[in-house]
Amino acid sequence: MHIVVCIKQVPDSAQIRIHPVTNTIMRQGVPAIINPYDLFSLEEALRIKDATGARVTVLTMGPPMAEAALRKALSFGADSAVLLTDRKFAGSDTLATSYALTSAIRKLEEEEPVSIVFCGKQTVDGDTAQVGPGICTRMGLQQLTYITKIEDVDQKTNQITVQRRSEGGVQVLKTTMPCMITMLEGTNTIRFGTMDDMFRAARTPLKVWSKDDCVDDENKVGLKGSPTVVSKVFVPKPRAERAKFIEVDGGDPVALAAAAVDTVFTVQPKLAADLLGAAAAGH
């Protein structure tokens, strides 16, 4: 079994600042990390490797500095890594990124069929959650998103059973592979790398592919292949309103709650109209 985990190197969102004049993201001096959502998928792939002996390949698209993210993933236990890097990829939106990553996975499949593609649920910089489903659609894979647990991977029947969180509870899904999985945050904790894996990560040669190595249509990557336009980035203005304290001294809890709701409805008449209208309609 061959598993591909798509990861992305992102700036640490806790330290990102917006330039006050140009309204652009200031990346200088901001450390780069593996997208935290990707680590939940990487750990799940490694657990399948532990149980089945599968081979895990990590794949990323980015500048040459993204090599550090791949080597970090190798230190956790991944077997091999592919860096997709080319100036032609610069400016790719989710549509172009999913095309480039799909092209790279198809090239990997020339060596060994891929049973599972793992992606992070979303990234902390773009926050779109579109790349994983985009890869899934382009490759015609079974799509398993918001997964909280992988119950079973049966290589004999080529089937996988997972738990998926939904609005009404938890769904247990069983489907055939190949499939694409995005793990929900908090479902596991990335392991510490062993000393052997750390040494291996430092000396393992990476596969470095350019546009010419795997992409058939250069008009589908980079700015040419990206219809998304970010017109403005800005920091929301902080609200000056303070929380209002309602002091009570005994009294009927129901009457106090009703008085608090009346106070909220007084300052939020639209909210009151919407809620009362929905209640009247039976929603």
Q: One digit per residue, pLDDT tens: the chain, 283 residues?
A: 999 999 999 988 778 777 777 666 677 778 899 999 999 999 999 999 999 999 999 999 999 999 999 999 999 999 999 999 999 999 899 999 999 999 999 999 999 999 999 999 999 888 899 999 999 999 999 999 999 999 999 999 999 999 999 888 999 999 999 999 999 999 999 999 999 999 999 999 999 999 999 999 999 999 999 998 878 777 777 777 777 777 777 778 888 888 888 888 888 888 888 888 888 877 6
Residue type at 25 in one-letter notation? I
Q: Which two tokens stand for residue 155?
A: 């290589």
Residue pair 147/181 in contact by the 8 Å Cβ criterion:
yes
Q: Distance between CA 84 and CA 29 in Å, rounded?
A: 24
Q: What beta strand segments (E) does the chain contain?
A: 2-6, 9-11, 17-18, 25-26, 32-34, 55-61, 80-84, 116-120, 142-154, 159-166, 169-176, 179-183, 207-209
From the list 209, 199, 172, 219, the residue with the least C-alpha distance to 83 is: 209
Longest dimension (CA), the chain: 75
Rounded to whole angstroms, the Cα distance separating 95 from 221 reads: 8
Decide if 56 contacts 79 (C-beta within 8 A): yes
The torsion angles phi and psi of 82, rounded to 5 degrees, stand at -125, 125
What percentage of the chain's residues is helix, strand, coil (to nearest 5)? 40, 25, 35
CB–CB of 210/63 below 8 Å? no
Which pTM value belongs to this model?
Answer: 0.82
Closest CA to 76 of 108, 43, 103: 43
The residues that bridge with 62 in the sheet, in sequence order, are none
